[in-house]
Structure 1
């Protein structure tokens, strides 16, 4: 007989209190129930159940053995579920949220590769610079910059968000080129108002950490708007390098402060803690970590 099946039968007899009740639930004959119990007892060389005409009670050894049986059965169920998930092809629809700029220039092209890898998965990409409520808005996952404070979410860390400081040659010709972060207090600095501590720009350089409170007469709540303003010569910008790379390469913007790096911000993909980890969501998380980890 299969030992795991016999353990399962034993656990149900113990919980229900009789062979008859267990036989009814498991759709076995009472005789077959008895054979499973005797198989275990013969194997162990000890009685597990005190039998009577009314109710079967566990022996002291039976009570201890029951705890181990239940633990093993739970582990076996978890193992079966793991294999079932691994063998299931990701399929269905995913709703994913992230910021407008990152979603447009980076995530959208990456999701084309994801769709080719998993053709049975469709993606609804929601772009907004407002922090989305995943549960309320029916989102499966989101990619965010900043420290996770919501205990109802699970997350995987991605590479940190790091920015580059640059400005248009026309602005630098008019206002001069800063050589130290503290020079920024004498310049127009374009800010995104949604960032925590948006006025404080932090750098690391030869003398260690440097913090500068910048001034701006123009704040824009969209990264593309800030980029176009910088191209027009409105001021100095601090933004993620990927968004500005083509402009810097073409000479439309000039990178500044080469001896300093900007402060990195944590970035992660997150999803609701109470949501079942489906094959499609697992595939997305693994792909995002592979791409941006």
Structure 2
């Protein structure tokens, strides 16, 4: 197969993943005319359009879906072949592109990255903020970390850690409003409200204890889809919040935040999830990254606060996720059960 055709296939897949010729060119680091030219040459050779140019963002022509997915698999296999030759008989080296949401960057990766570099000095990590995206291919990343449930896509999915919802506020807040003895009491407390990636504000918190399940409506003056935006009103004693425990260690350890309702289990806490590109999963640098993440999250979960609580059960996708997330047209994610 000629080199120009392989390049044309690479550009074609990038156009589909990025949703346009200009975006594909920026992602690939080449000029937009060169992307246009090679994709058009490929279409001319095949005698049929491969891109639906009437759609915004651009998408594959209906009859070309299978062709483009086969091209994607072929390119992934070639990259894996190249990488295996470079990595063979060597310590982990090369670059890994990691997308992560801001809360993961702040509370999971920030302190861990220096240890990773000290252990694997020849692996270069390129970090990018995933923003609201949950699509590995569109981000152009080799791996993605998020708190939550990634939509199905052509990737390996691994749950690194389960989390626990904790209802927290400052001691002064609880002294002012009273410590709730039952979840239903939260209906009268000013609380911070989270907005999902789909724009839905979570105004009902669900709890379970023994055979009793309680769902309580909460309200407050602040709604945000950004965890850091909640910290100032939370730590200043203006609001209570429901936050996953792996991001609360400093505030709990120094007593700035006080959890309540610890005999109740908050439902639908988001797991810490890892997505990996299939074609890179066996590469030494990627295996080193995954092993390090497992070690890092094991450290976090081993020092959960408050201490002495029951083990965290496996999470269940909430109703809002099941209603909003549709399966990808690509193959479903392979689940790594480890």
Same fold by TM (over 0.5)?
yes
Distance 1:128 1:82 in 2: 28
1:273 aligns with 2:278: yes
Question: Aligned runs of 1:166-245 on 2, under 5 Å?
Answer: 166-194=168-196, 198-245=202-249
Distance 1:112 1:214 in 2: 40
The alignment partner of 1:143 has SS state of strand
Tell me whether 273-282 or 165-174 shows the greater mean CA deviation: 273-282
Partner of 2:113: 111
**Residues paired across the two proteins, number:** 213
Gaps of at least 5 residues in structure 1 are 1-80
Partner of 1:6: none
Classify 1:217/1:273 alpha carbon distance in 2 versus 1 (closer, same or farther; 3 Å): same
Over the aligned positions, Cα root-mean-square deviation in angstroms equals: 2.7
What is the Cα deviation at residue 201 of structure 1? 1.8
Distance 1:185 1:86 in 2: 59
Alpha carbons 1:193, 1:221 under 8 Å: kept: yes
The alignment's TM-score, normalised by the length of structure 2, stands at 0.56
Partner of 1:87: 89
Classify 1:267/1:241 alpha carbon distance in 2 versus 1 (closer, same or farther; 3 Å): closer
Distance 2:260 2:131 in 1: 26
Alpha carbons 2:187, 2:216 under 8 Å: kept: yes
Distance 1:247 1:170 in 2: 14
Gaps of at least 5 residues in structure 2 are 1-82, 299-338
The alignment partner of 2:144 has SS state of strand
Distance 2:227 2:246 in 1: 12
Distance 1:262 1:228 in 2: 23
Alpha carbons 1:163, 1:238 under 8 Å: kept: yes
Alpha carbons 1:269, 1:288 under 8 Å: kept: no
The alignment partner of 2:216 has SS state of strand
Q: Deviations over 1:16-69 (max 9, x none)?
A: xxxxxxxxxxxxxxxxxxxxxxxxxxxxxxxxxxxxxxxxxxxxxxxxxxxxxx
